[in-house]
């Protein structure tokens, strides 16, 4: 439900069985455990385009629906960022095609060397109807959810849908992505794993994005949190920042640490992004700073059981229909 473009977050919806050909999008990501293809193999050579789901000139990405080996698939193409350490090779090894010159101004099309002109490509295959809708550009609505709305509308919907988080369990059990884990506290009560989100290319800290996934498996979202979870939240808050300082030399004062509501998948996880990076879903209508969550629970142990929360839902989201049917929208 809700989130945006990419990868794990996101907006993981429904079951996420990927073929061995596929790489994961959650998201935000969020699909689990796809295997990497050999660099020399182009699995997209037989991809047949059906439609363009959405595209963004600003974000330099495009979402494509089609078929891969007779299976429904979604392909996400994203321009990779220019890094400082590539500038010398970019300037010396590229070809320039003049477009316009006027006094001191000139514009060119720059043809970079192949190794500097990569396009990050994410493949979801086989893709379900939910995947297609997830990446399709749609109108959104801001929902007002009271505590009783969660109990009578949202929770029954979540339970009925049975959203799969098997890919999360694969990570926690080291069945997938074990080599990507940056830090782990194995404690079953307050422990977590910290690993890069697929939205981050891991080449520069300017767009740093990591996810902390709890070992506890019975906490779906912000709504489940009470004061008894404070040791867990404080552990993630402090040890997550320490791990990022050690690994990426980025101090806590430059981090945005937050939870989503609604989350993209129903297993408690915390987002760590660099302050200044406008990550998908970091806006006030969806992101809740972990520091604020901790303080709220310290003031009121049942804060998120009764608090009215607001969040965006896309026009095709099943939960939005439930709120409309209940006369709440």
Tens-place pLDDT, residues 149-208: 999 999 999 999 877 899 999 999 999 999 999 999 999 999 999 999 988 888 889 999
pLDDT, residue 39, reads 58
How big is the chain, counted in residues? 329
Share of the chain above pLDDT 70, in %: 88
Average pLDDT, the chain: 86
* CATH 3.30.428.10 domain extents, the chain: 138-325
Most confident of 27-31, 83-87, 196-200, 249-253: 249-253
Q: What's the whole-number mean pLDDT along residues 53-63? A: 86
DSSP calls for 158-171: HHHHT---HHHHHH
Residue 171 in contact with residue 182, Cβ under 8 Å? no
pLDDT grade for 5, boundaries at 50, 70 and 90: very low
Residue 76 in contact with residue 199, Cβ under 8 Å? no
Q: Which of 19-28, 101-110, 182-191, 282-291 has the lowest mean pLDDT?
A: 19-28
Question: 194-228: b or e for each residue (b if 16 or more CB lie within 10 Å)?
Answer: bbbbbbbeeeeeebbbbbbbbbbeebbbbbbbebe
**DSSP designation for 126:** S
Question: Who has greater pLDDT, 35 or 45?
Answer: 45
**DSSP designation for 266:** S
Structure tokens at 3: 């989130």
pLDDT grade for 120, boundaries at 50, 70 and 90: confident
d(CA 78, CA 80): 6
Q: Is the pLDDT of residue 27 over 50?
A: no
The 3-state DSSP composition of the chain as helix, strand, coil percent (nearest 5) reads: 30, 25, 45
Tens-place pLDDT, residues 64-75: 999 998 899 999
Q: What's the whole-number mean pLDDT along residues 224-231? A: 98
Residue 211 in contact with residue 268, Cβ under 8 Å? no
Domain 138-325 fold is: HIT family, subunit A (3.30.428)
Nearest to 73, CA basis, from 123, 121, 142: 123
pLDDT, residue 38, reads 52
Q: Is the alpha carbon torsion for 169, 175, 180, 182 positive or negative?
A: positive
Question: Who has greater pLDDT, 119 or 273?
Answer: 273
d(CA 65, CA 319): 24
Residues with a known catalytic role: 269
Q: Is the pLDDT of residue 30 over 60?
A: no
pLDDT, residue 17, reads 38
pLDDT, residue 134, reads 77
Question: Who has greater pLDDT, 42 or 213?
Answer: 213
Tens-place pLDDT, residues 271-313: 999 999 888 889 999 999 999 999 999 999 999 999 999 999 9
């Amino acid at each position: 439900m809700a989130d945006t473009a990419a990868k794990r977050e996101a907006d993981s919806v429904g079951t996420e069985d990927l073929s061995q050909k596929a790489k994961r999008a959650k998201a935000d990501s969020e699909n689990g455990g796809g295997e990497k293809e050999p660099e020399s193999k182009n699995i997209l050579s037989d991809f047949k385009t059906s439609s363009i789901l959405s595209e963004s000139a600003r974000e330099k990405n495009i979402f494509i629906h089609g078929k891969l080996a007779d299976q429904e698939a979604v392909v996400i193409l994203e321009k990779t960022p220019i890094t400082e350490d590539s500038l010398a090779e970019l300037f010396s090894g590229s070809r320039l095609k003049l477009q316009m010159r006027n006094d001191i101004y000139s514009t060119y099309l720059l043809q970079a060397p192949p190794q500097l002109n990569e396009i990050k490509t994410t493949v979801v295959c086989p893709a379900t109807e939910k995947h297609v809708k997830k990446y399709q550009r749609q109108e959104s609505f801001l929902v007002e959810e009271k505590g009783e709305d969660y109990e009578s509308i949202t929770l029954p919907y979540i339970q009925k849908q049975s959203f799969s988080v098997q890919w999360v369990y694969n990570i926690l059990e080291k069945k997938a992505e074990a080599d990507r884990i940056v830090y782990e506290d194995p404690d079953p009560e307050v422990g977590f794993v910290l690993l890069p989100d697929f939205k981050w290319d891991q080449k520069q800290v300017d767009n740093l994005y990591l996810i902390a996934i709890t070992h506890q498996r019975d906490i779906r979202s912000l709504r489940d949190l009470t004061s008894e979870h404070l040791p867990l939240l404080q552990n993630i808050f402090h040890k997550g920042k320490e791990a990022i300082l050690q690994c990426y030399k980025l101090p806590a004062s430059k981090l945005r640490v937050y939870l989503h509501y609604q989350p993209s998948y129903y297993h408690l996880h915390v987002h760590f992004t660099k302050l200044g990076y406008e990550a998908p879903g970091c806006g006030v209508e969806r992101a809740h700073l972990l520091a604020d969550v901790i303080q709220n629970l310290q003031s009121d142990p049942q804060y998120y059981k009764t608090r009215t929360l607001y969040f965006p839902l896309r026009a095709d989201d099943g939960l939005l229909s439930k709120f409309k049917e209940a006369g709440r929208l």
